[in-house]
Amino acid sequence: MCGIVGYTGNKQAQDIVLDSLKKLEYRGYDSSGIALKEDKLVICKKEGPISNMEEILPKSNSSLAIAHTRWATHGVPSDANAHPHADADNSVAVVHNGTIDNYLDIRENLEEEGYKFVSESDSEILPILISKYYAGDLVEALHNSLSDIQGIFTIAVIHENHPDEIVAVRHETPLIIGLGNSENFVASDIYAVLKYTQQIIYPDDNQIVRVTPESIDLFDSSLKPLEYVVETVEKYTEVAEKGGYEHFMLKEIFEQPKALQDSQTELFIDNPLEGLSLNWKIGSISIVACGTSYHAGLVGKYVIEQLTAIPVSVDYSSEFRYAAPVQGVGGILSSRPLVVLISQSGETADTLAAARAAKQQGCYTIAVCNVPGSRITREVDGVIITKSGQEIGVAATKTFLTQMQALYVLGTHLAFNSGSLDHPQLKLWESEIRKLPSKITQVLNSSEGIKSLVPNFVNAKSVFFVGRNINYPLALEGALKLKEISYIHAEGYPAGELKHGPLALLGEDTPIIAVAMQDHTYSKLLSNIEEMSARKAPVITLCQKGDQHVPKISDKYFEIPEIDPVLSPFPVAVFMQLLSYYIAHELGTDIDKPRNLAKSVTVE
């Protein structure tokens, strides 16, 4: 969500932090700002895109700066609510990600002491508290301020009396320190600094770090000095440019064959599953995720249960830790439950909280994640990295397919370990999964046929997506994609559920996308299409190549390549992505940065 960058070194800080800040635009934001050290602190901030702020930003030769992109939580998007925030004298400037839960009480107390506030933001209490506690040492001032606040946060602060020093801290939200040559970086995301360094420090919660051009000092919660580990991270080779595509989302849709292939190399050759230590009786599996990753988890449930007969539940991360304890730890089962947590960024606040809850219950935890070194990969028992590369578009595309693929491979691994699959069957599954990139390419090569369907949707006020069995989650995902980027209301349903209420909404202005794969639910799905057509709803059906029945009962249809129905979610997903993209493009929405949304959701 919000983005933080900071630089202290031997170069002009302004250009570096602005360049780094733009690397975080994909996360979603509504305002931006920068604080630089001249004779005094200079702060410039503006509602809207970074370009709005740049237009009013004077050129600076400062070698120290912090900058921020804000996604509103407290207070509407405005210049006043944008970061950095400062104290009354502009001696302290602070950027903050997260939320301060008790800010109203602190603000009331500070106002009684005579301090003035100029914004609605919870973050404004921070520079005032730090200024209040400042007695010459910025680390101590931040440390004393932390004893007053409750919530989740990443904080970076500079002071006019410390011309080359950034002090930062984190609690349940991301913070990384990048090491350079007589220059160092602070950021909330490694993508911000990978252009400049791959040498990274990951502070733990409540560890305060002091950063200067020549030194990094790390302190624990009692200000005891700590040793730190410097890690070298992989530098993504993809340049965050559109490469001739009109939008990042379209580029990333067309990158999916490569993303699947690269992830297969990770899964089948590097084989991280062998290191997961899953050779024990698993009594139950919980898959935990948010948004699109949740839909990947639903697909995984069908596959893993089919392969292993182990019961699988799928929970929203935001609900998981409030539910009953996972059975099997001091419960009705003697075996140990497995919890699989899916997070594209590895920093999703709700999923991180769920991981901690699962570990507290004694569960074995595995993360499926696209960002090596991210927070969740450092907190779980095992990790499966999806090799999608950086995904800029807010609407997830290639990460969805690679997450599904990871769950398919995890399912086959569990089935082989338990004896449900023998070695020839395992290799057959692997062979079929390896064909997925070519199947996806065939759908991409038929994009003009998908584009031709757009006129059926641009005037719709609601669209229904329906499927059965393993493609019911794809109905949910199709609906999510459409409403995310086109702002058309859309709902996904099991096809058999429309007659239990939603059928009342159907008519000539409510088009239906039906997924009709030739599995054991096929005949029922055809009956459902007949029911929808009888209510005069236009039905556009997604079917397998050569289907003889669907064309006769649908208004329009689109054929996907021949594929085993259990693997059909992959080409179906690509169809859903392209259709949503082309509809949104026709409507002229901001496809890569949909309103009100963020790429990485780091608040609960």
CATH 3.60.20.10 fits 3-232, yes or no: yes
Convert the pLDDT of each residue in 518-568 to its tens digit.
999 999 989 999 988 888 899 999 999 999 999 999 999 999 999 999 999
Residue 325: the pLDDT is 63
Residue 203: the pLDDT is 94
Convert the pLDDT of each residue in 216-227 to its tens digit.
999 999 999 999
Q: How confident is the model at residue 390 (pLDDT cuts 50, 70, 90)?
A: confident
Residue 501 has pLDDT above 60, yes or no: yes
- The yes-or-no answer on residue 599 being catalytic is yes
Beta strand 199-201 pairing with 216-219: unpaired
Convert the pLDDT of each residue in 422-431 to its tens digit.
999 999 999 9
Torsion of CA 53, 59, 62, 66, to 10 degrees: 10
Angle at 352 between CA 333 and CA 65, to 5 degrees: 170
Domain with CATH 3.60.20.10 in the chain: 3-232
Q: How confident is the model at residue 411 (pLDDT cuts 50, 70, 90)?
A: very high
C-alpha span between 19 and 13 (Å, rounded): 10
Convert the pLDDT of each residue in 138-165 to its tens digit.
999 999 999 999 998 999 999 999 999 9
- Using CB atoms within 10 Å of the CB of residue 169, give its burial: 0 to 12 exposed, 13 to 18 middle, 19+ buried: buried
Asked if 520 contacts 494 with a C-beta cutoff of 8 angstroms, the reply is no
Distance of CA 36 to the CA centre of its chain: 30
Which residues 6+ apart lie within 8 Å of 419 measured at CB? none
pTM reported for the whole predicted model: 0.77
Asked if 63 contacts 92 with a C-beta cutoff of 8 angstroms, the reply is no
Under DSSP, is residue 523 helix (H, G, I), strand (E, B) or coil?
A: helix
- Using CB atoms within 10 Å of the CB of residue 595, give its burial: 0 to 12 exposed, 13 to 18 middle, 19+ buried: exposed
Angle between helices 436-444 and 423-434 (to 10 degrees): 20
Homologous superfamily (CATH) for 241-434: Glucose-6-phosphate isomerase like protein; domain 1 (3.40.50.10490)
Residue 549's region, left for phi above 0, alpha for psi from -120 to 50, else beta, is alpha
Paired residues of 158 in beta bridges: 93
Whole-Å CA distances, 8 to 130, 134, 370: 20, 21, 29
Mean pLDDT of the chain: 91
Residue 70 has pLDDT above 80, yes or no: yes
Residue 552: the pLDDT is 94
Q: Which fold has domain 445-604?
A: Rossmann fold (3.40.50)
- The yes-or-no answer on residue 2 being catalytic is yes
Lowest mean pLDDT among 88-92, 339-343, 394-398, 499-503: 499-503
Dihedral (CA of 373, 377, 378, 382) sign: negative
C-alpha span between 262 and 203 (Å, rounded): 30
Active-site position among 2, 44, 363, 369? 2
Asked if 13 contacts 63 with a C-beta cutoff of 8 angstroms, the reply is yes
Angle at 387 between CA 383 and CA 389, to 5 degrees: 125
Convert the pLDDT of each residue in 325-359 to its tens digit.
655 443 434 468 999 999 998 888 889 989 999 99
Asked if 570 contacts 434 with a C-beta cutoff of 8 angstroms, the reply is no
Residue 565's region, left for phi above 0, alpha for psi from -120 to 50, else beta, is alpha
Which residues 6+ apart lie within 8 Å of 574 measured at CB? 253, 256, 401, 440, 443, 444
Segment 117-136 shows an average pLDDT of 96
Of the candidates 485, 337, 470, the residue with the CA atom closest to the CA atom of residue 408: 470
Sheet holding 41-47, edge to edge: 41-47, 31-37, 64-70, 3-8, 184-187, 176-179, 199-201, 231-232
C-alpha span between 303 and 286 (Å, rounded): 13
Convert the pLDDT of each residue in 186-243 to its tens digit.
999 888 998 999 999 999 999 999 999 999 999 999 999 999 999 988 765 444 567 7
Under DSSP, is residue 62 helix (H, G, I), strand (E, B) or coil?
A: coil
Tokens of 360: 């507290």
Residue 1: the pLDDT is 56
Angle between helices 398-418 and 256-264 (to 10 degrees): 30
Dihedral (CA of 580, 598, 372, 405) sign: negative
Lowest mean pLDDT among 241-255, 324-338, 412-426, 475-489: 324-338
Whole-Å CA distances, 313 to 323, 335, 551: 12, 16, 36
Tokens of 436: 């997925």
Domain with CATH 3.40.50.10490 in the chain: 241-434, 445-604
C-alpha span between 173 and 339 (Å, rounded): 22
Active-site position among 22, 23, 387, 599? 599
